[in-house]
Amino acid sequence: MRDPFRGASSGRAASHARLLRRGFNIHNLSLRGLMKDTAADYALFSDPVYGVTFVLRKGKLYDGKGKAVPGVTGSLNIKQKTAHLMTPESDVQTFRLGEEGAQ
């Protein structure tokens, strides 16, 4: 099954290890959706540079294979349609659903 957030011509998605070696950057992500289920709220992000989809769930960011991105934490506000990510270096990025450029 094809990843709906990856473009048809973007090639193979980067592996988890390769992504981290090349310098994963929360500023490259785009917020694509906010959802909720009975267990938790979650956000979907895409990284157009590497063709990878990420999920923020219960305060942790996971790649498309379900592996946690080390040190990256986050929070959601469904009512305000925002998501916040923070790196171990205290770099914070705020995303608003519907806005391409993160704040």
**Looking at the domain assignment, is residue 59 inside a domain?**
yes
- Give the angle 39-85-31 at the CA atoms, nearest 5°: 75
pLDDT at 39: 87
Domain that holds residue 63: 16-96
Phi and psi, residue 38, nearest 5°: -70, -25
pLDDT at 52: 83
Q: What is the pLDDT of residues 64-98, one digit of tens each?
A: 888 999 899 999 999 999 999 999 899 999 999 98
Q: Is the pTM of this model over 0.95?
A: no
Instruction: Kindly state the average pLDDT of the residues 7-19.
Output: 52
**Looking at the domain assignment, is residue 82 inside a domain?**
yes
**Looking at the domain assignment, is residue 25 inside a domain?**
yes
**Looking at the domain assignment, is residue 42 inside a domain?**
yes
Specify the number of domains making up the chain. 1
Mean pLDDT, rounded, of the chain: 82
**Looking at the domain assignment, is residue 71 inside a domain?**
yes
**Looking at the domain assignment, is residue 31 inside a domain?**
yes
Q: In what order do the strands lie in the sheet with 92-96?
A: 30-36, 41-47, 52-57, 60-63, 68-77, 82-86, 92-96
**Looking at the domain assignment, is residue 4 inside a domain?**
no
Residue showing tokens 């986050």: 74
